[in-house]
A and B are shown apart, each in its own frame.
Chain A
């Protein structure tokens, strides 16, 4: 699995997941599925599987390198799960448990069906070519009887093969016709049927030329295109599910007898009592029963300042507990939590987006009446000139066969597969082929602030201004804590030793004895310091009786944010900033980056309303965001981009997911999308040129089965080669 970066900040927060909740028992064995990060080579497979098999109790350890999934089975207690996960961590491959899908994935089934159809069509094509070529080349020497025999054998191979391999097209064409539409599959099905029908008639009654090879060749090339398209979607879906699985949520259920048991978050029922340790996310909407501290709601609301937790406060699923242990009472189960509300808004947005008509379908709308009109004209023309029915019908069928959108069916999927493969290497996950088309057309780009343009967590400002030794002293305490301000200190100081016996006072700070001195690090109020400024962006260090030292923090812009904004402006995009945060920080970010159009304190509904207004004004809107509160807006935009550290629901709603949290990849995505669109249009051009040559020949009755075979395969190879140019990075 490519580019699943171990540095994703969002994953650090899910480190508290208890793997035991995901263990399944079967026939005395405990089974667990794990998502392993960082495995890329044979050595990794050997280390992971070998390392786990060192334990005699492990019955099975098999890593799928393509998906990064490890299937593990062992004899013994489920509690061993945690040991194995720790062992993997020690080997250098952090692993997260996940719940495998219960039912077969429909995309995967469809993919296999297409592959089977492709195999059958390929087999039939090769064997029929064997016969057809001998008929074409041996035409004069071969006796009439021998030709008839060859044709009969061809019929025997092709008719069942076409009936099997053509099913995806026949079914889709029938579906379209039933609702009164015409799609690309209608002329395809018609061409296959007519080619087979004409050939059967010629074999048994007419003794003329047959088109068996053309029928299966058409199916083979078109199935390649169809399969590539499906494969792209299945792979993106798989990777997206992998990302979601790594954010697997568990909850610690507090039972009536006081025991604590880890369960998957979706098994939580309203009224359950849950224990939330520092660093855990709130699994479902809940109310605080006991405990005090601070909660980080930035992923939920976009606000950077933590919420003060106290008994009686309602908290939302997705919030992060920063310090102190909390006891919660679930107010709703997982499906009725805030997340579910957001999901409904997302679905509404996605429905609106499904009205987008793909380029290929737009081409089909134009193409079908033209081709069928031409075929009808051919019949009429030949009847008027010659008056004979047989050549008129044969030529009309030749027109339909030769214009069958082989190249057109390959033109778009081939480009999209190459483009998304290139983006995959650049660390961008593409969810669907038409997302590339939509991004290519985007002219208005809307950014979220927290976590998208900024890093979404505080960073120490002015580390050089802090007195010598103070930072290291603060870091000794901070390394033991998961509070964002402590993390920021620990990041700034780098690796080092941590103080022993550090006490974390919820809502206050950290306290420890270092070298006989009492050291405290935390909020001004707790330390009794009179400070008027915002308590969430500063912390104080007091060593013994020395004067307190002040540390300032800010949510820093991503390193590449300015560069990305400039690059997008250079590409002629209009930029907007919509944030759920307060006006002050939003204005500061907008001013620094030179975004003139910004709005603060936006609720998810407000963001959607703003996007709709931009759409009304005629823009093609791309949304870039990461928070749960952005998910509805991501779904409502024409096209959307999210980051790997984003909330699960946002990644699900977005068309592109940037791995490794590099915002600069969005510019690459834009460029590749635009390049892909150009390639698609070029391929349409090539297909049109091919038809401009082939159709007049067919109308004139000059096309033989040999010419049809050469022309169709040549045009398909040509568009595929043109698509491959995209892989080399050319535009």
Chain B
């Protein structure tokens, strides 16, 4: 059972991180335009993809 001493704080910390993330996204206005965000993902990027020769090795 002693493993719980670690597991419980880890679980709660992860939950708290999620909560903090949500509060941050709320504050930074990411929920202001729900419909627009859903559509923007479908928009094509105007820039053509970089060609093979310009690609940096990674």
Q: Interface readout for A127-144 with B: 1 if CB under 8 Å, 0 if not? A: 100110000000000010
- What are 14 A-B residue pairs whose CB atoms fall within 8 Å in the complex? A42-B39, A42-B41, A42-B42, A45-B36, A45-B39, A65-B36, A66-B34, A67-B33, A126-B15, A127-B15, A130-B11, A146-B1, A146-B4, A157-B12
Chain A minimum-CB-distance residue to B19: A123
User: Once A and B bind, how many residue pairs between them come within 8 Å at the CB atom?
Assistant: 53
B23 is an interface residue with CB less than 8 A from chain A = yes
A184 proximal to B (CB < 8 A)? no
A126 to B44, CA, bound (A): 39
Q: Is A127 a contact of B33 with CB atoms below 8 Å?
A: no
Closest residue of A by beta carbon distance from B32: A64
Quick check: B23 and A119 within 8 Å, CB to CB? yes
- Chain B 25-58, CB-CB to A under 8 Å as 1, else 0, gives 0100001111110011111101000000000000
From A45, A123, A130, A131, give the contact of B40 (CB < 8 A). A45
Q: Does A593 contact B (CB under 8 A)?
A: no
Closest 10 CB pairs of A and B: A65-B36, A42-B39, A42-B42, A123-B19, A65-B35, A64-B33, A66-B35, A66-B33, A127-B15, A42-B43
> Are A41 and B39 also in contact (CB < 8 A) when A64-B33, A146-B1 are?
yes
**How many chain B residues touch the partner (CB < 8 A)?**
25
A88 and B43 alpha carbons, distance in the complex (Å): 19
Task: Pick the most buried of B33, B35, B42: most chain A CB atoms within 10 A of its CB.
Answer: B35
- A455 to B43 Cα, complex, angstroms: 41
Contact of A123 among B4, B18, B32 (CB under 8 A): B18
Q: Which residues of B contact A (CB under 8 A)?
A: 1, 4, 8, 11-12, 15-16, 18-19, 22-23, 26, 31-36, 39-44, 46
**Bound Cα distance from A41 to B22, whole angstroms:** 26
Additional pairs, 7, CB under 8 Å, beyond known A45-B36, A65-B33, A66-B33: A42-B40, A45-B39, A46-B44, A64-B36, A120-B19, A143-B1, A157-B12
Residue of B nearest to A64 (CB): B33
Residue A657 lies at the interface, judged by CB distance under 8 Å to chain B: no
Interfacial chain A residues near B33, Cβ < 8 Å: 64-67
A63 touches B26 (CB 8 A): no
A159 within 8 A of B: no
Contact residues on A (Cβ < 8 Å of other chain), bracket: 20 to 34
What is the bound-complex CA distance between A23 and B19, given in angstroms? Answer: 39
**A112 CB-CB contact with B under 8 Å:** yes
Alpha-carbon gap, A123 to B14, bound state (A): 10
A493 close to B (CB within 8 Å): no
A65 with B39: in contact, given A120-B19, A126-B15 (CB under 8 Å)?
A: yes
B contact residues around A595 at 8 Å (CB): none
* Cα separation A45 to B42 with both chains bound (whole Å): 10
A63 to B39, CA, bound (A): 11
Separation of A67 and B23 alpha carbons in the complex (Å)? 22
